[in-house]
Structure 1
Amino acid sequence: MTQAEEKDRRGSFTAAGMKRGVRAALALTLGLMPFGLVVGMTADAQGLSLLETLLMSGLVFAGTSQVMALGLWTEPAPILAAALTCLVINLRMAPMGVALGPVLDRLHGIRLWGSLALLVDNAFALMVAEMRAGRRDAGFLVGASMVMWVNWMLMCGTGHVFASAIRLPPGHPVFFASLAALMSVLVPIWRGASDLLPWVAAGMLALLAHGVLGLGAPWPVLLGALGGGAIGAARDLRAAR
């Protein structure tokens, strides 16, 4: 094994990795555009200014959390309820960080915290595919995430600016964008039939929480994620033995 291969195996952060991440993220970024437009239009409808919308989008950088928080938005703003909702939904980021441990554990300072600050579902999925291919360059994660962040800011801002000109009725097909963007995350991390059990279990738990128990957002998402993750972890441990 060459020195370069050994460095990549242990984990690294290179400009070449960032460029590869940028290229890999472009296709997924196109799919995220309608999602950003929806968030921008929703923010305008709830009375947020363009500056407030951009600050929320740039600092939170989590579309599902933003949609949930905007759905709760009233005057005065329910800061505690919105913050709790975002916290519960974004708890899924914790196991994502753990899963990326082989890539992030050897990073320090701004490289580590910058990588974590930009972490989103789609970039995580692309990075998992990289790790399965034997590559552990954290630059790939940052490159992919940066492309998505820039696109997110542009689309949220555009949606807000042109919201009055493109008012859409509830139930319009474009509002499916948020669900479609989340579903696209599944493509690069699909490993075959062995993934069906945890994925189906996660979906069934979320449906049970919402349809049977009557729990509202964000609890179905959290229960589905934790249940599916636990089943997947048990499966992997059994296979490792």
Structure 2
Amino acid sequence: MRDPATPTTAAAAHAARAASWRAGMKAGVPYAIAGSALSISFGVLAREAGFSAVAAIVMSAIVFAGSAQFTVVSIIAAGGGFGAAVSAAALMNSRFLPMGIALGPSLAGGRWSRAAQGQTVVDASWAMANQGEGRFDRWFLFGATSVQYVSWVGGTVIGALGGSVIGDPDRLGLDAVYPAFFLALLVSELRDRRSRGVALAGSVIALALVPIAPAGVPVLAASAAAIIGLRPGPEPAAVLPVTDGAEDGR
């Protein structure tokens, strides 16, 4: 008879998922704090570009992607059309294509279930949930993203509704948060020679295209380096057993 105190396999699996979720939430807190400062800046700038407070908040709740949202706001503020803004934002988010390809095998369920789970992918969560060798801890990813989502939408609410009190985001140094955020992600991913090679290749591609290509195109082209980095590495050399000489006839 099974000991009632002994957890079942299902209970153990549930406990492991809960532990991963909590670990992800804890790891996501620093990024959530940085994201809230950035989203406050977005809320202020969106209002200055002519967005209503509701439109800015709904955009953060649905899009949940800083680069795409700032791209849309900057194009609209410069007098660009809605179509151009949406196209540029889509290109900015093109980095999620190779990220999704890498994550896909680690997600459970059918096609639509995996698609729903994929909506939780953001840069910091994806990087931290990466366990190497093509494996991701999806529950860690979900936990890390959950706190960032709350802080992103909450920061937008503050910026959109309290912009007149906050004033110029640059005055508070919020303009420096975004590049510092991605630099921290890059440094954390430079674990080995392949990672450094992919980062260098992507940087060279993007820097070469920035002066001549439309906004978003450099990101799309640089993502090709990430796809190349998904190729499996060389198989490790087989380790032959050591014998004492008698076993191989010597």
**Fold conserved between structures, TM > 0.5:** yes
Using the TM superposition, give the Cα deviation of residue 59 of structure 1 relative to its aligned residue in structure 2, in angstroms: 0.3
Which consecutive segments of 4 or more residues in structure 1 shift more than 3 A? 74-77, 108-111, 133-137, 169-173
Pair 1:58-2:61 in alignment: yes
Q: 8 Å contact 1:123–1:144 — kept in the other structure?
A: yes
Pair 1:206-2:201 in alignment: no
1:162 is matched with 162
Structure 1: 5+ residue stretches without partners: none
CA RMSD of aligned residues (A): 3.1
Task: Check 1:114–1:153 CA distance in 2 against 1; reply closer, same or farther (3 A cut).
Answer: same
Using the TM superposition, give the Cα deviation of residue 74 of structure 1 relative to its aligned residue in structure 2, in angstroms: 5.1
**Count of residues paired in the alignment:** 227
1:123 is matched with 125
Question: 2:229 is matched by which residue type in structure 1?
Answer: G
Task: Check 1:144–1:193 CA distance in 2 against 1; reply closer, same or farther (3 A cut).
Answer: same
* TM-score computed with the length of structure 1 as normaliser: 0.81
Match of 2:103 among 100, 105, 116: 100
Using the TM superposition, give the Cα deviation of residue 112 of structure 1 relative to its aligned residue in structure 2, in angstroms: 2.8
Using the TM superposition, give the Cα deviation of residue 75 of structure 1 relative to its aligned residue in structure 2, in angstroms: 9.7
Q: 8 Å contact 1:66–1:86 — kept in the other structure?
A: yes
Match of 2:221 among 223, 232, 237: 223
* TM-score computed with the length of structure 2 as normaliser: 0.78
Task: Check 1:143–1:111 CA distance in 2 against 1; reply closer, same or farther (3 A cut).
Answer: farther
Distance 2:112 2:119 in 1: 10
Distance 2:145 2:227 in 1: 26
Task: Check 1:202–1:158 CA distance in 2 against 1; reply closer, same or farther (3 A cut).
Answer: same
Match of 2:24 among 21, 29, 32: 21
Structure 2: 5+ residue stretches without partners: 1-7, 237-250
1:177 is matched with 177
Distance 1:173 1:75 in 2: 22
Which protein is richer in helix relative to its size? Answer: 1
Match of 1:239 among 226, 234, 250: 234
Percentage of identical aligned residues = 25
Once the two structures are overlaid, the 10-residue window that deviates more, 199-208 or 30-39, is: 30-39
Larger Rg over CA atoms: 2
